[in-house]
Amino acid sequence: MSEQVDLTTIPISPEGGNKADGAKTEDGETVTVFHDKDNFNVKHPLSNRWTLWFTKPASGRGDNWNELLKEVITFESVEEFWGVYNNIAPVSELAMKSDYHLFKAGVRPEWEDPQNKHGGKWAYQFKEKRSVNIDELWLHTMLAAIGETLEEEEDGEVMGVVVNVRKGFYRVGVWTSTTGKHVPNRGDGDVAGGKNRSPEKAKEILMNIGRRLKATLKLPPNEMMEFSGHTEAAHSGSTRAKPKMMV
């Protein structure tokens, strides 16, 4: 994954067939991937373009973040997503200290990115790794992101989703563009973190995203999931900053 993958080299259907070229069959029939996963001729566009990123484990020789973070591929249709998904290693087979990041195109999965720097994330750690089907949970998380079901259409908060592979846990999270609080001196007239919303409305939207992620991860009601700001995480030198909210 050191180089960005050329999408044209990836079979769009799981079995290697690639007829999704916009053409119809000889009898003029329109066939979608939902009718025939191997022989279809229509693509379903997503609401946004998405980029998959990969963080490889550090070599221990002073690698910096930019050297470890690699852009894999950008896609914009349901069929392209499945083509990518069926041709990359599942989370359960990744080396320790690896990450997948699926972010809207144009947004780097970094705290410093202009679209992330005033934001935060919901995250949950699965500490019983052997009892967790992380591949299924990560797939459902990605589908929720690209299907735009983690938030309402007008919310515009979700920047991307992340899965971290660590020795003692898997962590899945969703990054948001704001933390729900007022960000002064941005120069763009924004309040409540950038959406011209009241703090109450901003918090309501973020809490709703948290609840939807919690449902996607199939967490029981008594399990708490935390939201923390990127700024606090950066200042603490850790991804485990003091939570601002919990669901």
What are the pLDDT digits (tens) for 117-174? 999 999 999 999 999 999 999 999 999 999 999 999 999 999 999 999 999 999 999 9
- How many folded domains does the chain comprise? 1
Cα 1 versus chain centre, distance: 18
Residues 200-210 as b/e (b if ≥16 CB within 10 A, e otherwise) read eebbebbbbbb
- Rounded to whole angstroms, the Cα distance separating 178 from 194 reads 7
- pTM across the whole model: 0.81
The answer to whether residue 19 sits within a structural domain is: no
What are the pLDDT digits (tens) for 195-215? 678 889 999 999 999 999 999
The answer to whether residue 125 sits within a structural domain is: yes
Domain enclosing residue 215, as ranges: 89-246
Q: Is the Cα torsion angle 94, 96, 101, 107 positive or negative in sign?
A: negative
Instruction: Say which CATH number the domain at 179 has.
Output: 3.30.760.10
The answer to whether residue 67 sits within a structural domain is: no
The answer to whether residue 166 sits within a structural domain is: yes
- Could you tell me if residue 117 is left (phi over 0), alpha (psi between -120 and 50 degrees) or otherwise beta? alpha
